[in-house]
Structure 1
Amino acid sequence: MPRVFVQGAPAAYFPRHAPEAARGTVRRVTETGEEVLHKPCRDVTEFGPDLAALIDDMFRTMYVAEGAGLAASQVGVDLRLFVYDCPDDDGVRHVGHIVNPVLETSPPGRPLVEDTEGCLSVPGATMSVPRPEHAVVHGQDRDGNPLRIEGTGYFARCLHHETDHTRGFVYLDRLSKRDRKEALRQMTTHRDAVLARRAHRSASEPAAT
């Protein structure tokens, strides 16, 4: 079985970091409470060098922040787009980006799976969040070509989480009032250490290997 899928297609080999990261620049990650994270993003209507450069920056920023996915709103850009480099529950790696993502609705009655989830925009906090164990997302690639991405397990969780960002939701919105308060407490406690680690990685880690 292939161990890496790039843009939904099996790949015989893929480097440790997506090549886009080598061209990218690290951007600041927005944090919960900032307006761009809490409203639906705009559709991408222009495909070209500016979009490609944004995707490069997002990959670079995601790796520096040690994330499995990153939406454009998390770097302050009000567009429906995310990148990912995420394993599924079988250890298969999935790498890519998707523009204007639309998540297929899960069949009624399908159980949700509780698992730990974090967010680069809620630094230092992790909580258990119920999500479907399967996801199918339709959208486009950076050139505007149709794209379909399917995932299970942890990768499905990533697809649901990042698509939520494009709709103006963070995972805190899926928590009870009590759990949300606990997540924000964790963020208050650990935020400075997380941001210091990101700053160190940004200054010291090669762009891509």
Structure 2
Amino acid sequence: MSGLVHLCGLSWHARLPVPGPLDIPAAVLPLLVALLTLARFGHEVLRARRARSRHLGVLALVGRRSAGLRATVLDHELPAVYCLPGRCPRVVVSTGALRVLSSAQLDAVLDHERAHIAGRHHLTLAAAEAFARAFRWLPLARAAREQTAMLLEMAADDRALRRHPRETLAAALYEMAASRTPRGAFAAGGPGALVRLHRMLGPHRR
């Protein structure tokens, strides 16, 4: 908080130059920023949790549990693998994905999704979403939301690459590139798959 005050060119004990008899400490401004973002964060967490709960209810009716995959299998032609993080985490695999992915590719994608769950990435994404909604007029806020989602996918890629070859995960991402997911879920494919493929197959740098 003190650093944010100084970044705004104020001192901790400064007063805001407002008209009238009000005497408002400068620290109120960054405090309001923090409270607004925190309130938005709570709202985003609850909203995503409700969306996941609704989808879990649907999965209970139309999905079937696979003990071997440790995932829920959903009858759908489009190849898709995604996870629903939170209190009752669930990894979902479509029959289309089972049809087009090899055993090694499927294992790599499942490890990618479990990395999202283990890393609690949904909380980081909720924080970025809260910042973007609280300050939607700021280009930085909008960019932060998009780039945070991409970086979380890259982090899950890196976790999966500890156990699987790059070519295996890259081939799986290629098959999953057109997949779509419900709100509150993380998908192995999606619109950022091409950027991740370039990063994965390019010269390896720390």
Same fold (TM over 0.5): no
Higher strand share: 1
Asked which structure has the greater CA Rg, the reply is 2
Q: TM-score, normalised by structure 1?
A: 0.26
Relative contact order: is structure 1 or structure 2 higher (C-alpha 8 Å, sep ≥ 6)? 1
Q: TM-score, normalised by structure 2?
A: 0.26
